Amino acid sequence: MTTRPRNLGLALAVIAVAQLMVVLDVAIVNVALPSIQRSLHFTSTNLEWVVNAYAIAFGGLLLLGGRAGDLFGRRRMFTAGTLLFTIGSLAGGLATTSTLLIIARVAQGIGGAIVAPTALSLLADTFAEGKARNRALGVYSAVSAGGGALGLLLGGVITNYFSWRWILFVNVPVGVVLALVAPRVLLATKGRSGRLDLPGAFSVTAGTTLLVYSLSRAATHGWSDSLTIASLGVALGLLVIFVAIEARSRQPLMPLRIFSNRNRSGAYALSLAVGATLSGMLFLLTLFLQNVLGFTPLQAGLAFLPTALGVVIGAAITSRLVGRIGPRSPMTIGALLVAIGLFWLSGISVHADYASHVLGPLLTLAVGLGMVFVSTSVVAISGITPTESGLAAALLNVGRQLGGSLGIAILGTVAVTAGYATAFEVASGIALAGFLVALATFRGRRISTTPQADDIAA
């Protein structure tokens, strides 16, 4: 029997800091893009790759990263992913050309795709199901949901007072410490026997990578762009092939039985919807604050601080209540709060004032985000077999990441054609759809803490 770590607080700190490091890098470079463009002579069309190179590698490899942890040992893969992320951060900070920076961002994305799912599955391994795990998930979820807003704040501070290079350099000492401490405080899990499903791995990695790319391209080139349409079609075709492979494989990368649990499937669907609204909101509101209200990058970053605080409040409340009342209520109430906050934001105009038109909606939807992130994480990893917790965690992260790319693409297009107010109305509709899905799919006040027969069937 595996012994749990003695210092659970330090183990949680390692997992939370690693997750924060990975989530921050999705947003932290956004406010530094003008400085990066001037320094490395990016063209206006290539500048998007500073963001997209990370997002595509991260989103495309999440499923493979989670499954690799199941097969080869989660602590080992967590440490390897952290080191790769750190090396990519150092290379990016030292980059002297635009090409070198993009390559470094890809390395960061690959490392992040290994760290994110293994971090959540290590949390499930380390903390016993119940109060201890729920509180740990509260911390993890606060970091995951609030990391984007915190990234915008830190990006503004670092760019304003130091250099854009320190946005990447700051990861290096953190990553080194994590890689050194992780083997000493995290639970060692043995890999399982079996082989990696290479046809499935290739098709899903290529398919999700192309899907994230096509959605990222749609955000900047529009949905009528021929390359966007072609890459989207190929991506969907590859994903269909992947499902067919998994249905026939004896050792599938993603056993389809994991979706037989309707509560878990509902949590994945809600994660997709909320990921879309969160990323879309951060993207649009950053542009609105700077381009319409005239905020500086630092002021825009500070404007998102209430979002991080609201997420912490929502996550803390949910982590304490979910063990008593189950995840259904916080999941549905949280999604409804997100929808209300986004609809409230749709009232903004060129004459809007931050205190009266932005602060209230931000706090409302942030509390809802914290509630949703905790409850969906609880559902995703509860009752899953130990050999498949990495896959369950990866699917949750895939939903959030693909949702984020989809949200930016759709809401960005709406904002350009119909304005910010309409875009926030659409975002509210997406969140409301997530609320309805959660309401319709989740059954039972409590969740099962033991693997169901369908989950453990060979």
pLDDT in tens, 109-168: 999 989 988 888 888 778 877 777 788 888 888 887 777 778 878 887 887 788 889 989
Coil, strand, or helix at residue 45?
coil
Do residues 331 and 388 lie in contact, with contact meaning Cβ atoms separated by under 8 Å?
Answer: no
Residue of 221, 288, 307, 279 lying closest to 427 (CA atoms): 279
339 vs 278, higher pLDDT: 339
Mean pLDDT of the 415-436 span? 89
**Is the sign of the CA dihedral 97, 102, 105, 107 positive or negative?**
negative
Q: What is the pTM of this model?
A: 0.79
CA angle 373, 379, 382 (to 5 degrees): 130
Main-chain dihedrals φ then ψ at residue 73, nearest 5 degrees: 105, 125
Strands (E), 46-188: none
Do residues 214 and 42 lie in contact, with contact meaning Cβ atoms separated by under 8 Å?
Answer: no
**Is the sign of the CA dihedral 409, 412, 418, 424 positive or negative?**
positive
Give the best-scoring range by mean pLDDT among 208-212, 276-280, 281-285, 425-429.
425-429
Q: What is the mean pLDDT of the chain?
A: 83
Main-chain dihedrals φ then ψ at residue 47, nearest 5 degrees: -60, -30
Do residues 455 and 388 lie in contact, with contact meaning Cβ atoms separated by under 8 Å?
Answer: yes
250 vs 184, higher pLDDT: 184
Determine the Cα–Cα distance for residues 176 and 330; give it in Å rounded to an integer: 37
Mean pLDDT of the 310-320 span? 88
Burial of 301 (0-12, 13-18, 19+ CB in 10 A): buried
Buried b (16+ CB within 10 A) or exposed e, 46-55: ebbbbbbbbb
Mean pLDDT of the 440-457 span? 55
Q: Which amino acid is at 26?
A: V
Q: How confident is the model at residue 455 (pLDDT cuts 50, 70, 90)?
A: very low
Determine the Cα–Cα distance for residues 169 and 172; give it in Å rounded to an integer: 5
CA angle 222, 224, 228 (to 5 degrees): 75
Q: Output the CA–CA distances (angstroms, integers) from residue 250 to 37, 104, 245, in the order listed.
A: 49, 36, 10
Q: How confident is the model at residue 348 (pLDDT cuts 50, 70, 90)?
A: confident
Residue of 151, 167, 170, 150 lying closest to 159 (CA atoms): 167
Determine the Cα–Cα distance for residues 58 and 208; give it in Å rounded to an integer: 10
Span 72-111, pLDDT tens digits: 888 889 999 999 999 999 999 999 998 999 999 999 999 9
Of 181-185, 212-216, 234-238, 370-374, the one with minimum mean pLDDT is 212-216
Mean pLDDT of the 55-71 span? 80
Buried b (16+ CB within 10 A) or exposed e, 346-373: bebeeebeeeebbeebbbbbbbbbbbbb
Alpha-carbon dihedral angle through residues 16, 20, 21, 25, given to the nearest 10 degrees = 160
Determine the Cα–Cα distance for residues 405 and 277; give it in Å rounded to an integer: 10
Determine the Cα–Cα distance for residues 3 and 17; give it in Å rounded to an integer: 23
Coil, strand, or helix at residue 245?
helix
Determine the Cα–Cα distance for residues 206 and 308; give it in Å rounded to an integer: 34
**Is the sign of the CA dihedral 391, 392, 397, 400 positive or negative?**
positive
Residue 336 has pLDDT above 90, yes or no: yes
Q: How confident is the model at residue 211 (pLDDT cuts 50, 70, 90)?
A: confident
